[in-house]
Amino acid sequence: MSGLKQELGLAQGIGLLSTSLLGTGVFAVPALAALAAGNSSLWAWPVLILLVFPVAIVFAALGRHFPSAGGVAHFVGLAFGPRLERVTGWLFLSVIPVGLPAALHIAAGFWQGMFGWQGPLLLMAELGTLALIWFIGTRGAGSSANLQSLIAGLIVALIVAIWWRGGITFRDIPFPPLPQVSVSAMSASLAVMFWCFVGLEAFAHLASEFKNPERDFPRALMIGLLLAGSVYWACTVVVLHFDVWRTLGAAASLPAIVVELFGKQALWIACIIGYLACFASLNIYIQSFARLVWSQAAYKPESALAKLSKRQLPVNALNAVLFCCMVCTIAIYAFSINLDTLIIYANGIFIMIYLLCMLAGCRLLKGRYKALAIVGSALCLLLLVIPGWKSLYAVIMLAVLWLLLPKRRTTTIRSIQP
């Protein structure tokens, strides 16, 4: 059940995934990691990448052999049947009312930094961002990929420029000796840093739009993961080197460093790149949500959401997702709803989706891939336990959806040899 235009190449896939992972976190998370663990955070990034690798490899293996716009929901359906597939799909979609407006608010904050916008002007910036995402989405995955590859290049160029202008060399990197690394501090920083690698599940929805998904999808996933991890590590070196995160706070650290090195006029450059990074993350999530809605609606071919445009794009599904996001954004503004607490609960949804994907890998894969899926499942269970009672929201949502959504016909299970 594809039907979508296959137009993505390896370089475009790398651009899509890397910007999805960098997104809203590239300006803030390195400083948050420094606050949690100091110099030990320089070791935490490579440790985190090693921990995420089993999860990423399972995503790559499943996306390679079962490319589908349904993403994780499709994998779960193959492993455990159509009912849990639908539950997983709706679980992912349940993030829209909270997660997307929050990311929009963070993105609009960069316009506030440039122009001092408040209230209604920030709301207009958020709605304008949705309009831009609609325009790009109606042009196809290739257009999104080309734009996000450009954004990835701008982010890398900014970090390289900071290293160059700041005179940072590898001899200046304050790696603490391993015996001096605090395990508790590193654990605290890992809990913060893990959210930088939420985005693999969104990327999985684009697997069927690669020209050669079996070859290029897993390569794009792994290279994009390494590129994003390297950028986060390089940003952490920067914030530790200039030591402004203790007084200015996480989000303001990198823009302040840019102003210190290049002058006040450079703040515009930092804010524009920061906005584009947020926009890139928003764009891939909204395009992924649209593909999930289309894949779920395809069970009822007469549904408008199951129709593709002349360009083989799920435009009706994209319109539905954007309309929902617009309504929620306006409601949150009108009622002055605090998103911070709600985001914590939404994070539990992402962990649950990762866990379901890993469990599907345990069922569908064999050999070393199955072993990695088991490791990934254990990691996701651990991450689900760390937030404590707040994770109950994800568990309750899963149970409620299981009870309320109707059943569908069964799906044949296939296994993959390593």
Give all domains of the chain, ordered by start, each with its CATH number.
10-404 (1.20.1740.10)
The pLDDT > 70 percentage for the chain reads 93
Query: Nearest Cα to 276, choosing from 416, 410, 147?
Result: 147
The pLDDT mean for the chain works out to: 87
| Amino acid identity for residue 86 in this structure | R
When mean pLDDT is compared across 136-145, 184-193, 300-309, 376-385, the lowest value belongs to 184-193
- Rounded Cα distance between 336 and 199, Å, is 28
- Rounded Cα distance between 109 and 67, Å, is 36
Would the pLDDT of 1 be above 50? Answer: no
Would the pLDDT of 187 be above 90? Answer: no
β-partners of residue 416 are 365
Q: HSE on the CB side for 274, CA within 13 Å? A: 29
Query: Nearest Cα to 156, choosing from 233, 219, 265?
Result: 233
Residue 272: how many CB atoms within 10 A of its CB? 15
Give 388's contacts (C-beta < 8 A, 6+ positions apart).
Answer: none
If pLDDT is split at 50, 70 and 90, which confidence band does 413 have? Answer: very low
- Please report the pLDDT score of residue 103 as a whole number: 86
- DSSP E strands in 127-185: the ranges are none
Tell me, what DSSP letter sits at residue 338?
A: -
If pLDDT is split at 50, 70 and 90, which confidence band does 251 have? Answer: low
> Please, are residues 267 and 258 in contact by the beta-carbon 8 Å criterion?
yes
- Please report the pLDDT score of residue 343 as a whole number: 67
Would the pLDDT of 415 be above 60? Answer: no
212: left (phi over 0), alpha (psi -120 to 50) or beta: beta
- Please report the pLDDT score of residue 412 as a whole number: 45
Count of helix runs (H) and strand runs (E) in the chain: 18, 0
Residue 337: how many CB atoms within 10 A of its CB? 13
CB burial string 33-65: b at 16+ within 10 A, e below: bbbbbbbbbbbbbebbbebbbbbbbbbbbbbbb
pLDDT in tens, 107-157: 888 888 788 888 899 999 999 999 999 999 999 888 899 999 999 999 999
